[in-house]
Structure 1
Amino acid sequence: MDTEEQVLVDALRNHRTMALERLMDQFGNSVYGLVSRILAGTGRVEDTEECVSDVFVTAWRRIDQFDSTRGTLKTWLLVLAKYIALDVRRKLLRQPGTVEIDASESSGENIEEAVLSKEASMEMRNMVNALTEPDRTIFYKRYFYYESVEQIAKALGITNKAVENRLYRIRKEFKEKLQERGTGIKHAK
């Protein structure tokens, strides 16, 4: 963890209001983007804004649970945002008059395909968790948080080419492992 992040975490743990404001300034757009993607089509803009507020309040209350050995403050915050947004999404979908069409229902996907898809998803999750640092961070930043190669390189203090090379190796490794195991995930560039 860099010094700037440590100072912010310490200030949050001491419940300094300016630290919460700084956290919101620094990560507000990322949290809002993730929450809005998760809640897309299920509620109003106000629901998204309320969810984002809940994320920061929860982070404020649970900052002692942050463990810098497991990832960055941003990663912790975005994981927190993901789970809070998924909870809000479930609540919104349970409200009367809220209907979401399941993509598998609309495409006529059969049960066997759904099971294979679930198995492939679990396999992918296991492979991502098996990555070492900084590859895991690069993978999450690129494919979960949709950060550009340039943003990732700047955040990690490496070149764009190094990020591109690592992403290429990760994709290649995943493709080979999936082919060995016969898992039904199609390789995408």
Structure 2
Amino acid sequence: MEERDKQLLKMIRKQSEEGMSLLIDEYGGAIKAICSNVLRNYDAGIVQDAMQETVIRLWQKLSQRFQVKKNLRAYIYQTARNCALDYLRKYQRHSETDFEGVEDMMQDVSTDVEREFSRKHNERIVHEVIKEMEEPDRTIFILRFFYYETVKVIAETVHLKEDNVESRIRRGKKKLKAELLRRGVLNE
């Protein structure tokens, strides 16, 4: 675990307000990106609630001497994703029982179903292509485009120079585009 993460963990375990501030300063952007990505079809208030729930869960777990194995960052990202998914399930359940405007929805349902099927199909192909990438390119791509990490943070994480990370991102994007063209997801 990185030294600054060890310090952060110590402060949180002392239940220091400074620890909470540092947690938000250090990881607030990533938490927001993850929650926004998962809850992209919902308003900002729901995203904000999921972010707050993430911080609360982290504070509760980490201050109770919960053992973080190896990587605090990964644990924080996982917690953010799980909180956002909990909110997604909660609001999907509520929207399924809300019958206002059903007639309007039914008019566009076939178009929406086609569009959603196409989106999910394309998303699955993107995930497959990324899964087929070699390491560290896969990790670099995931950190950059799913967790919105900066090139500097990625370089530190995978122990490469920033220039090397940038060139791997460029090559990865070219490979991804070529593969998506080949599989019919994109048109030239």
Under TM normalisation by the shorter chain, which class is it? 0.5 to 0.7
What's the counterpart of residue 183 of structure 1? 183
Q: TM-score, normalised by structure 1?
A: 0.64
Structure 1 residue aligned with 2:49: 50
1:167 Cα deviation from its structure 2 partner: 0.8
1:123, distance to aligned residue in structure 2 (A): 3.2
The answer to whether structure 1 residue 35 and structure 2 residue 35 are counterparts is yes
SS at match of 2:148: coil
Computing the radius of gyration over CA atoms, which structure comes out larger, 1 or 2? 2
Give the secondary-structure state (helix, strand or coil) at the position aligned to 1:83: helix
Task: Give the partner amino acid of 1:135.
Answer: D
The structure-2 alpha-carbon separation of the partners of 1:168 and 1:106, relative to structure 1 and needing over 3 Å to count, comes to farther
- The corresponding residue for 2:79 is 80
Q: Deviations over 1:111-149 (max 9, x none)?
A: 4x6545434422322333444543233212321233444
Q: Which has the larger helix fraction?
A: 2
- Percent identity between the aligned chains? 23
Alpha-carbon RMSD: 4.0
- Structure 2 unpaired stretches of 5+: none
Q: CA deviation at 1:82?
A: 2.6
Following the alignment from structure 1 to structure 2, what is the Cα–Cα distance between the partners of residues 16 and 130? Answer: 43
Residue 168 (1) aligns with residue 165 (2): no
| Contact residue 155 and residue 165 of structure 2 kept, 8 A | yes
Q: TM-score, normalised to structure 2's length? A: 0.64
1:38 to partner: Cα distance: 4.3
The aligned residue for residue 22 of structure 1 is 22
Give ranges in structure 1 of 5+ residues lacking alignment: none
CA offsets per residue over residues 151-175 of structure 1, 9 Å max, x none? 6446666444322210122223334
Query: Which residue of structure 2 lines up, in the alignment, with residue 108 of structure 1?
Result: 111
